[in-house]
Each structure stands twice: as structure tokens, then as C-alpha cells.
Amino acid sequence: MVSRDRRIAGVARSARLVPALLAGLLALTGCGGGVHGTPGGSGVRDPFFPKAGNGGYDVSHYGLRLAYDPDAHRLTGTATLTARATQDLSAFNLDLLGLEVEKVTVGDEIARFNRAGQELTVRPREDVDRDETFRVTVRYSGAPETVTDPDGSREGWLRTADGVLALGEPTGSMTWFPGNHHPSDKAAYDLAVTVPQGLRAVSNGELRGESTARGRTTFEWRTSEPMASYLATLAIGRFDIGRFGTGRDIGRFDIGRFGAGRSQAERGLPVYTAVDPAEAEASRPVLGRIPEVLRWAERRFGPYPFSSTGAIVDHAPDLGYALETQTRPVFPGAPDITLLVHELAHQWYGDSVSPRSWRDMWLNEGFATYAEWLWEEEHGGRSAQETFDALYSGEYFATREAGEAVWAFPPADPPSAARISDPPVYWRGAMVLQKVRQAVGDDRFWGILKGWAAEYRYGNADTADFTAYVESRAPGVDFQGIWEEWLYGEGRPERA
């Protein structure tokens, strides 16, 4: 399924030009004379996905121009990446799974390239100097793939009844655009997508333009704040669109099809929702609470980190999960309020503050799960401590097996790629936060929640960063037992 074609662009193949052919082949191996750079790494050595991402450069911007025909299941694309070299580069890799690469340029020069699995290796005509900003453009096409994660879930390019849903956690984004596909390299995005007239294309950020010509419509989306590629999404199909504002400044909003009788906010965070008509009726009450949830979340987590928000609700009953795609979480059906709270909390924890590696998933899921506990605590349900107690005693879940699964491994040390979304990452991760809250008291804990989101805003963090940050905010508290027993300890800790 993966194209492994080797192509040499701009090198004569005529048998009569043997010297030129030999020179081209020497260049393809990166062994030409005068080379001062070295190839960038083919991965960033993530503990669970070692081939994800690439070394030697940092991407600042993706410019994607795509066209998709759902009937033919054919994608054509041009991806332009702006990046800065972090070393002298004779070659560098991009992650791209499947699809046919037709042409690669670096700057204005045609570049040689070859394929091997998910690795697209690019060899520019001239070495790229360290700290140099360069532009690489890849023209490609084909039938994008759906991939199966180590845990058995599906991601990548997921076909729906009327279009497609592109999801990327942890590595699926490489099925529809080439890039540095690891959360440690975040960038801004401009995405233009052309689809048959009558369909819509919905992505992250703000809709900057919409135009129709010759039976096809182009939608232009912009994400200005840094985004990890696994958080990029694209939904193509028939959607009911809601546009409104949070009205967080004046407390008023108009939610269009999702409400009536209220005037549109003059100011406030823009909200854009796209809902499959089959899910519209069931989604309306919950999506109408987006402004309420965000106002609550800002009180607990600090200022919302992005310039827009919203949701995509598709009709994908077999998908089995929602995803915190940046500014616009994706739901496979109508969400309930708890799931909405979880995915919106991820905008702070996971999207703005992203994991340094996939081992750090608990910093995403533990925080978002704890947000559910706080929402329940502050909206007439059980307290976070009561939830903690029920989990500890095994009474929270309906079955003994589900209760025991929480203790299968430490949340900060999943045993394999297949386990990074298992119960300990969510539930025991949230329990770690409750133990911190117990240790420091509420006032200081609220400061930690907000401060953590502010300290690493738009960046990356790992577990060591978190423990060091907590200790710096409460220097008189001994956290050693919490880290050793609850964060890294095997089995259920003794109750302190």
C-alpha cells in the first residue's frame, strides 16, 4: 500500500549521458563533493513511535492546498512547509504514508527525493545551513489511507457516508499531508480545500474564505496559534453550520439553529459548529452550552488559549472515540455534557500545552478527566474527592474488571504504544491531580492549574516538567510519596 518508488528529478536518464547519471546517483546517496551538512534524523526517537517526526528542522507554518473527490476517493494536494534548519542539512525527511509524490522543491529548486515506508527523504540541490529558514513544497495525489493504531482504533483518512473525517492521534495526519508529525513540532496552518459543490469542508481555526466556481467550492481555513499536527482535522460532507459568539464579555449570544430568541454578541469568542443533519436534533442542547462551559473553564484554567472555538459532530457511529482537535473538537455523534467538558478542557491541556512525547499522554487525559470531576463537583454532582474515593474502593465502575483496570500500570509510564489511552492514563492520572489538591489545598491548587497552562502555553511539556512546576509552586510540601506511589508506582497505593 505504501509507495516505495525512487525518483530522481532534474537528472537526465538517457543512457547516452552516463556521467550525468552517475553524478545524479552519487547525489542521491548524499555523498557528493563539498557537502558540509548531514541528513536530518528519520524520527525523534519517541519512546512509542520512534519513526514519528524528523530531526534537523523545525516547522513554523504549513500551507496546504487540497482537492478531494469523495466519489473517486482521490486527493490531490500541494503542501508548502516553512521551516528553520536546526543543523546543517544535506537531506531531511518528511512523514507521509501512502499517496504518490509527484514533485518536490526546496526554495525555487527542484529537489531529489525517495520513499521508504512513511519516510519521504528530500535532498535539496544545495545544503541548507543551520538557522536558515527554508521552504519545501511537495505536490502529491492518490487515495488516502485509514490506519489502525496499536490499540486497534482507526485514524487517518476515514470515509463517511457523504465525505470524509480526517483524524490524527497519534500518527494519522501523515496519511493526508507530509510533515513533521510529532507533537514536539508545532506550527501555524493555512488550509484551502476544494470539494464538490453542495459539500462543506470544515477544519481548525477560522474560516477565511468560501468561493464556488464550475461546480466546486473552496474553503479556506487559518490556524494562527501553534498546533501539533495530530490535532489538525478535516471534515468533508453535508453539515448544518452554526455561527455564534460566547459573549463572555457581555453574556449574550445567538446560536442560530441551536437556539432562538437571543441577539448575537457584539464581542466575544467566535464559535463555529458543523453538525451532520442526522445528529443535529440530539446535538442542539449540548452544543448550545459551549459558551457556558468555556466561561466556567476560564475561571478554573485561565484565559482560553485560542482565537475561536466550536465543534464538529459527524455521523460516524463505528468510530468509537471523540478527539480534541484544536479549536474544534470532533465527536462521532451527539455528545453529552461530560464529553463536551472533557474535549474543551483539552484545549488548555493537550492542545495549548502539548505532550513532549507520547509517554506523557496522562498530562492530556488526566487533566481533561479531572475537568469532568470539577464540572460535576460544581454543578450539583459528587465532589472530586467522592469520585476519587469511589475509584479507589472499586465502586465507581459497574464491574470489578473495570475497577481493577485503573491500577494496571502507572499513569506516567505506560508499558507500550497500545496502552497510552488505557484507563490508568485517564482515571489514575486524574487521581494524581486530586492527591496534589489534597496536599496543597484548594487556593494553591487553582493557582497550579492556571499557572501550568500559562507556563507552557503553546509549548510542550513532560512529566518531569510537571512535577518540577508543582514543587516550585508549593516549596514547603513533600510530594515524593505522591510521585513515587501515585504517578510512577505499580498497583494500587496504600491509602494515605
- Residue pLDDT, tens place only, 114-169: 999 999 999 999 999 999 999 999 999 999 999 999 999 999 999 999 999 999 99
Compute the average pLDDT of residues 211-224.
Answer: 98
Please state, in angstroms and as integers, the Cα–Cα distance from residue 108 to each residue in 90, 111, 123, following that order: 17, 9, 14
CB 121 within 8 A of CB 130: no
What's the confidence (pLDDT) of residue 492?
96
DSSP assigned state of 179: B
Task: List, in sequence order, every residue forming a beta bridge with 165; answer none if it has no partner.
Answer: 158, 235
How far out from the chain centre does Cα 131 lie? 26
pLDDT above 70 (res 336)? yes
Compute the average pLDDT of residues 188-214.
Answer: 98
What's the confidence (pLDDT) of residue 342?
98
Confidence of residue 3 (pLDDT cuts 50, 70, 90): very low
pLDDT above 70 as % of the chain: 89
The verdict on pTM exceeding 0.85 is yes
What's the confidence (pLDDT) of residue 382?
98
Could you give the 3-state DSSP secondary structure of residue 430? helix
User: What is the tens place of the pLDDT at every residue in 36-77?
Assistant: 899 999 999 999 999 999 999 999 999 999 999 999 999 999
Compute the average pLDDT of residues 465-486.
Answer: 97
- Where is 377: in which H helix or E strand? helix 362-378
Task: List, in sequence order, every residue forming a beta bridge with 243; answer none if it has no partner.
Answer: 272
Which one has a higher pLDDT value, 417 or 23?
Answer: 417
How far out from the chain centre does Cα 456 lie? 16
pLDDT above 60 (res 493)? yes
What's the confidence (pLDDT) of residue 36?
82
The per-residue DSSP string of 1-36 comes to -----EE-TT----TT-HHHHHHHHHHHTT--TT--
* E-assigned strand segments in 56-205: 57-69, 74-85, 89-95, 100-106, 109-110, 112-116, 119-123, 133-142, 146-148, 154-159, 164-167, 186-196, 200-203
AA letter at 339: L
CB 18 within 8 A of CB 71: no
Which of these, 137, 139, 166, 154, lies nearest to 61 by C-alpha position?
137
Q: Which residues touch 349 (CB under 8 Å, ≥6 apart)?
A: 301, 363, 364, 367, 368, 371, 453
CA–CA dist 44, 58 (Å, integer)? 12
What's the confidence (pLDDT) of residue 35?
61
DSSP assigned state of 125: S
Could you give the 3-state DSSP secondary structure of residue 386? helix
Q: At what angle do helices 429-440 and 442-455 cross, to 10 degrees?
A: 130
- Where is 309: in which H helix or E strand? strand 309-313
Compute the average pLDDT of residues 430-437.
Answer: 98
Q: Which residues touch 446 (CB under 8 Å, ≥6 apart)?
A: 300
Could you give the 3-state DSSP secondary structure of residue 477? coil
CA–CA dist 183, 199 (Å, integer)? 31
CA–CA dist 221, 228 (Å, integer)? 16
HEC string of 192-223? EEEEEECEEEEECCEEEEEEEECCEEEEEEEE
User: What is the tens place of the pLDDT at every residue in 6-20?
Assistant: 222 332 333 333 333
pLDDT above 90 as % of the chain: 87
Q: What is the mean pLDDT of the chain?
A: 90
Which of these, 175, 166, 176, 194, lies nearest to 69 by C-alpha position?
194
Compute the average pLDDT of residues 197-212.
Answer: 98
CA–CA dist 150, 55 (Å, integer)? 24
